[in-house]
Each structure stands twice: as structure tokens, then as C-alpha cells.
Amino acid sequence: MSLLDTAYLERLEDYLISGDLELDFDFAGEEGRGMILEFLEKLMDVAEKADEAATKLLFKGQLGALAGAKTQK
């Protein structure tokens, strides 16, 4: 499986918005609920890293150009 598997992300998104996650949580035992919460916490951590990476990629080099423009004034 590729790390850039958008089909998996789409399935995960569907799972999150369909109500299936809530049903799984409601019917899970204590251990299952803990696993779900740990998964969601990790997903949020990864999403934060993805946001940081996207920002870095999108603005790569632009900050240096802006800084250079400010020093030339």
C-alpha cells in the first residue's frame, strides 16, 4: 500500500461521517472504546503534521523572498 493512498482516506472519511464510528463506539466494550479514542487521537496528530507539511511545501521559498524584499527597502 502506498503512503499516498487517497482511496483509504476516502473510506476513512466515509466511516467518520456515516455514523458507523459512533455505532462502533456505542457497541464496543471498554477496550474497544479505548482503541477508537486512541486511533482518533493519533489521526488528529497526523492531521496536524499534514497541515504543517502542506504549509511548509506551499510557502517554501516565499518567506525568504519576502524577507529579501523587506531588506531591500
User: What's the confidence (pLDDT) of residue 62?
Assistant: 77
Nearest-angstrom CA–CA distance, 45 and 41? 6
| Residue-range domain boundaries for the chain | 6-71
- Give CA 54 to chain center in angstroms: 11
Nearest-angstrom CA–CA distance, 66 and 5? 35
Nearest-angstrom CA–CA distance, 42 and 23? 20
pLDDT in tens, the chain (73 residues): 578 999 999 999 999 999 999 999 999 999 999 999 999 999 999 999 999 999 998 888 676 666 666 655 5
Nearest-angstrom CA–CA distance, 9 and 15? 10
Nearest-angstrom CA–CA distance, 44 and 16? 13
